[in-house]
């Protein structure tokens, strides 16, 4: 039945693309693309939401790998604050900075239940490859093996006293924060790479923790439900390997220097003030901690960009209408990509937030890019 539904969706998507693409080419206007204005388990989520006093005082102010250098003259030039004045962009629409957050939340409430299915259709499954590459770049798998070995030696040397202490100690040896990851797609990759499901069969709190933080309760609901179905309850309730926390990327509900790794996948462009979010990412990372952002970016190859624009503005909204019964939300998501920073601009914003060793890696011709930086020791 699921396979049949997917077949129907793929057929619909193919028809939409063929009609649009062939029509555009027949009219000879591929280079003049019109950019149109663009529930499973009901398991409750325990949401923690508290403003950090530090962050709250901050003001708004093919895989072709191309790693950018931060030494070019253009990157050294200052850039404007992401938000200035009382308005900002919501797709191609100008809105009050006080209104954008609510409107973005509404978008993701609308698409929460179909979000992962739509990702498959919109990217032809490529989003899975991009997220797998993000996982490799984090180094979570080899790091988790080292952490497990260290913990095992500690238990052996201290008999049972260490395990007792560990149950009372909420400090993980490797702590990972995935922001704007409500449905758990990235977090589950970390859980699998770190073998947390197997560890959950033992007693005590896991030495590795993955925290999903998202502003949208509906996305978190979907994510926790998926996690309990996929892994069982022990991972969340007993070993504490995985947790779902409601919070805003601009002022995260966590103490300073709490995490070793911070990831955000396809979420940064939806934040009202990107600079503020980057500063708070810096705040919650431990010295030596690493920031990685997987985000849609800007295609530089002209023929690919033209084809991508046709697909984005004429196929994706129609897919949203057919699959998710929501054209407007996917129109916004397409527009938000075009309004987001270029690769070099985001590198500069990371540097302005205090990160070092900042660079980006393009994937699929720059359709997406991974940006990374390190918090100095």
pLDDT digits (tens, 9 = 90+) for 324-347: 777 887 888 888 888 899 999 999
pLDDT at 196 over 80: yes
In the numeric block, the tokens 């100095």 are attached to 376
How far is residue 121 CA from its own chain's centroid? 18
Backbone angles phi, psi at 229, to 5 degrees: -70, -40
Token pair recorded at residue 296: 């849609």
pLDDT at 250 over 50: yes
Specify the higher pLDDT residue, 140 or 26.
Answer: 140
pLDDT digits (tens, 9 = 90+) for 50-69: 333 333 333 333 444 444 44
pLDDT at 7 over 70: no
Question: Is this structure's pTM higher than 0.95?
Answer: no
Element (H, E) at 118: helix 115-123
Given this model, what pLDDT does residue 322 score?
79
The Cα 116–Cα 339 span in angstroms is 23
pLDDT digits (tens, 9 = 90+) for 265-281: 999 999 999 999 999 99
């Amino acid at each position: 039945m699921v396979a049949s539904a997917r077949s129907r969706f793929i057929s619909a998507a193919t028809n939409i693309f063929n009609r649009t693409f062939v029509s555009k080419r027949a009219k000879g206007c591929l280079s003049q693309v019109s950019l149109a204005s663009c529930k499973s388990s009901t398991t409750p989520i325990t949401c923690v939401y508290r403003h950090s006093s530090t962050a709250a005082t901050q003001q708004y102010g093919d895989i072709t790998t191309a790693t950018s250098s931060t030494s070019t003259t253009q990157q050294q030039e200052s850039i404007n604050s992401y938000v200035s004045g009382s308005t900002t962009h919501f797709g191609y629409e100008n809105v009050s900075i006080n209104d954008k957050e609510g409107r973005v939340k509404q978008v993701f409430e609308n698409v929460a239940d179909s979000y992962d299915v739509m990702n498959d259709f919109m990217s032809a499954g490529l989003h899975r490859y991009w997220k797998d590459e993000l996982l490799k770049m984090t180094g979570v798998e080899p790091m988790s093996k080292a952490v497990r070995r260290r913990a095992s030696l500690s238990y052996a040397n201290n008999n049972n006293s260490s395990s007792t202490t560990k149950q009372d100690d909420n400090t993980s040896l490797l702590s990972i924060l995935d922001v704007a990851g409500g449905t758990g797609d990235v977090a589950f990759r970390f859980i699998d790479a770190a073998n947390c499901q197997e560890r959950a069969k033992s007693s005590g709190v896991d030495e590795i923790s993955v925290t999903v933080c998202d502003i949208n309760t509906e996305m978190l609901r979907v994510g926790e439900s998926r996690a309990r179905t996929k892994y069982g309850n022990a991972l969340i309730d007993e070993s504490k390997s995985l947790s779902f926390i409601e919070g805003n990327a601009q002022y995260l509900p966590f103490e300073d220097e709490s995490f070793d790794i911070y990831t955000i996948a396809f979420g940064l462009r939806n934040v009202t003030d990107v600079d503020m979010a980057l500063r708070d990412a810096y705040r919650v990372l431990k010295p030596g901690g690493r920031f990685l952002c997987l985000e849609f970016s800007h295609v530089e190859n002209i023929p690919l960009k033209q084809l991508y624009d046709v697909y984005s503005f004429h196929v994706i909204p129609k897919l949203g209408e057919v699959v998710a019964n929501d054209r407007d939300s996917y129109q916004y998501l397409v527009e938000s990509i075009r309004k987001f920073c270029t690769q070099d601009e985001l590198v500069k914003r990371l540097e302005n937030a205090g990160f070092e060793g900042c660079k980006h890696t393009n994937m699929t011709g720059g359709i997406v890019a991974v940006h990374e930086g390190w918090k100095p020791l």
